[in-house]
Amino acid sequence: MEITLPVLIVGSVGLFFGIGLAIASKKLHVFTDPRISEILNILPNANCGACGYPGCSGFAKAVVEGKAEPTGCIPGGSKVANAIADILGVTTLLNEPMMAVVHCKGGKNEALEYSDYDGITDCNAAVLIGNGPKICQSGCLGLGTCVNACPFNAIFINNNGIAEVDPKKCTGCGKCVKACPRNIISLIPKVHKIFVACSNHDRGAKVKKYCSVGCTACTLCVKATPSGAISMENNLPVLDYSREENFITAAYKCPSNCFSDLVKFRPKANIDTKCDGCGECVAVCPVKDAIEGEKGTRHVIKKDRCIGCGICLNSCHVHAISLWGAGSVKS
Partner 1 sequence: MESFASLIGISVSAIFISNFVLSRFLGLCPFLGVSKKISSAVGMGMAVIFVMVIASGFTWIINRFVLLRFDVEFLRTIVFILVIAALVQLVEMALQKYSPALYEALGIFLPLITTNCAVLGVALINTEINPITGLQFTFFETIVNGTMSGVGFMLALVLMAGLREKLELSNTPEILEGLPISFITAGLMALAFLGFAGLNFFA
Q: Show contacts with partner 1 in window 84-123 (CB under 8 A).
A: 120-122
Rg (CA), the chain: 28
- Compare residues 9 and 300 and give the one whose CB is closer to partner 1: 9
How is 190-228 classified by DSSP, letter by letter?
Answer: TT--EEE-----S-HHHHHHHBTTS-----HHHHT-TT-
Contact between 15 and partner 1 by CB under 8 A: the answer reads no
Using alpha carbons only, what angle is made at residue 116 by residues 110 and 121, rounded to the nearest 5 degrees? Answer: 95
- Compare residues 24 and 191 and give the one whose CB is closer to partner 1: 24
Q: Which stretch binds partner 1 (CB under 8 A): 2-10, 106-114, 150-158, 166-174?
A: 2-10
Question: What 8-state DSSP symbol labels residue 239?
Answer: E
Least CB distance from residue 16 to partner 1, whole Å?
Answer: 9
- Compare residues 31 and 265 and give the one whose CB is closer to partner 1: 31
Q: Among 1, 3, 4, 5, indicate the residue that binds partner 1 (CB under 8 A).
A: 5
Least CB distance from residue 30 to partner 1, whole Å?
Answer: 5
Contact between 318 and partner 1 by CB under 8 A: the answer reads no
| Whether 199 contacts 184, CB under 8 Å | yes
CA dist 270 and 303 (Å) reads 8
Q: Which stretch binds partner 1 (CB under 8 A): 1-9, 131-139, 214-222, 310-318?
A: 1-9
Contact between 66 and partner 1 by CB under 8 A: the answer reads no
Nearest Cα to Cα of residue 168 among 179, 180, 152:
152
- Compare residues 1 and 30 and give the one whose CB is closer to partner 1: 30
Least CB distance from residue 143 to partner 1, whole Å?
Answer: 12
CA dist 253 and 236 (Å) reads 15
Contact between 130 and partner 1 by CB under 8 A: the answer reads no
Nearest Cα to Cα of residue 252 among 278, 290, 282:
290
Question: What 8-state DSSP symbol labels residue 72?
Answer: G
Residue 132, Cβ neighbours under 10 Å: how many?
Answer: 23
- Compare residues 20 and 130 and give the one whose CB is closer to partner 1: 20
b/e sequence 150-160, b meaning 16+ C-beta within 10 Å = bebebbebeee
| Whether 275 contacts 319, CB under 8 Å | no
Q: Among 125, 149, 220, 287, indicate the residue that binds partner 1 (CB under 8 A).
A: 125
Contact between 1 and partner 1 by CB under 8 A: the answer reads no
Question: What 8-state DSSP symbol labels residue 307?
Answer: -
Contact between 10 and partner 1 by CB under 8 A: the answer reads yes
- With CB under 8 A, what is the number of residues at the site for partner 1? 19
Contact between 129 and partner 1 by CB under 8 A: the answer reads no
Site string for partner 1, 16-55 (x = CB under 8 A): -xx-xx--xx--xxx-------------------------
Q: How many CA atoms lie within 13 A of 254 on its CB side?
A: 25
Least CB distance from residue 21 to partner 1, whole Å?
Answer: 6
Residues that bind partner 1 (CB under 8 A): 5-6, 9-10, 13-14, 17-18, 20-21, 24-25, 28-30, 120-122, 125
